[in-house]
A and B are shown apart, each in its own frame.
Chain A
Amino acid sequence: MSISVAMTVNGKAVSGKVEARTLLVQFLREHLGMTGTHVGCDTSQCGACVVDVDGKSVKSCTILAVQAEGSKVITIEGLAESPDKLHPMQEAFRENHALQCGFCTPGMVMSAIDMVKRHNYQLDEATVRRELEGNLCRCTGYHNIVKAILAAAPAMKSAGV
Chain B
Amino acid sequence: MYDFAYHRPKSVADAVKLLKDKPEARAISGGMTLIPTLKQRLARPSDVVDLGAVKELSGIKLEGTNVVIGGMTKHAEVATSADVKAAIPALAHLAGHIGDPQVRNRGTIGGSVANNDPAADYPGAVVALNATVTTNTRKIAADEFFKGLFETALADGELITSISFPKAEKAAYMKFPNPASRYAMVGVFVAKTAAGVRVAVTGAGPCVFRVKAMEDALAKNFSSAAIKDITIPADGLNSDIHGSAEYRAHLVGVMARRAVDAANK
Task: Give A contacts to B, CB under 8 Å.
Answer: 1, 3, 19-21, 23, 42-45, 47, 50, 56-59, 62-64, 66-67, 69, 111, 114-115, 118, 131, 133-135
Q: Given the known A-B contacts A59-B102, A63-B35, A67-B31, are A45 and B180 also in contact in the complex, defined by CB atoms under 8 Å?
A: yes
B31 touches A20 (CB 8 A): no
Q: Quick one: closest B residue to A131, CB to CB?
A: B101
A47–B8 CB distance below 8 A: no
Q: In the complex, how many residues of chain B place their beta carbon closer than 8 angstroms to a beta carbon of chain A? A: 28
Sorted nearest first, the 5 A-B pairs with minimum C-beta distance are A134-B100, A20-B6, A56-B105, A21-B1, A133-B100
Contact with A along B100-131 (1 / 0, CB 8 A): 11110110000000000000000000000000
Quick one: closest B residue to A20, CB to CB?
Answer: B6
Question: B234 interface residue, CB < 8 Å from A?
Answer: no
**Does B99 interact with chain A (Cβ within 8 Å)?**
yes
Supplied contacts A20-B48, A67-B52, 7 more A-B pairs, CB within 8 Å: A20-B6, A43-B36, A45-B181, A47-B102, A56-B76, A67-B28, A133-B100
What are the residues of chain B within 8 A of A59 when measuring CB–CB?
102-103, 106
A62-B32, A64-B31, A133-B182 in contact; A44/B2 too (CB < 8 A)? no
List A contacts of B38 (CB < 8 A): 21
Which of A47, A57, A64, A115: most chain B Cβ within 10 A?
Answer: A64
Cross-chain pair count, CB within 8 angstroms: 77
Q: Does B21 contact A (CB under 8 A)?
A: no
Known pairs A1-B6, A67-B31; A62 contacts B36 (CB<8 A): yes
Given contacts A57-B101, A111-B102, A134-B103, contact A21 B31 (CB under 8 A): no
8 Å CB contacts to A: which residues of B73-121?
A: 76, 99-103, 105-106
Report if A58-B39 is in contact (Cβ < 8 Å); known contacts: A66-B6, A69-B8: no
Q: Identify whether the interface residues of A are mostly helix, strand, loop, or mixed.
A: mixed
Tell which of B2, B105, B180 touches A57, judged by Cβ atoms closer than 8 Å: B105
State whether B2 touches A63 (Cβ < 8 A).
no
A111 to B105, CA, bound (A): 12
Q: Which residues of A contact B6 (CB under 8 A)?
A: 1, 3, 20, 64, 66
List chain B residues, Cβ under 8 A from A23. 35
Which residues, 6 to 54 on B, are CB-close (under 8 Å) to A? 6, 8, 28, 31-32, 35-36, 38-39, 48, 50, 52
Which of A1, A47, A115, A134 has the most chain B CB atoms closer than 10 A to its own CB?
A: A134
Q: Within the assembled complex, what's the spacing in Å between the Cα atoms of A118 and B105?
A: 12
Residue B3 is within 8 A (CB to CB) of chain A in the complex = yes
Residue in chain A with minimal CB distance to B106: A58
Tell me, rounded to whole Å, the shortest Cβ–Cβ distance linking A97 to chain B. 25
- Interface contact B181-A114, CB-CB below 8 Å: no
With known contacts A1-B3, A21-B2, A21-B3, A50–B50 Cβ distance under 8 A? no
Contact mask B179-209 → A, CB, 8 Å, 1/0? 0111000000000000000000000000000
Q: Give A62 Cβ to nearest chain B Cβ, in Å.
A: 5
Q: Contacting B36 at CB < 8 Å: which of A3, A20, A44?
A: A44
What is the CA–CA distance of A131 and B97 in the complex, to the nearest angstrom? 10
Distance between A110 CB and nearest chain B CB, rounded to angstroms: 9
- State the CA gap A57–B35 with chains docked (Å): 17
Residues of B within 8 A of A64 (CB): 6, 31, 35, 50
Cα A44 to Cα B40 with chains together (Å): 13
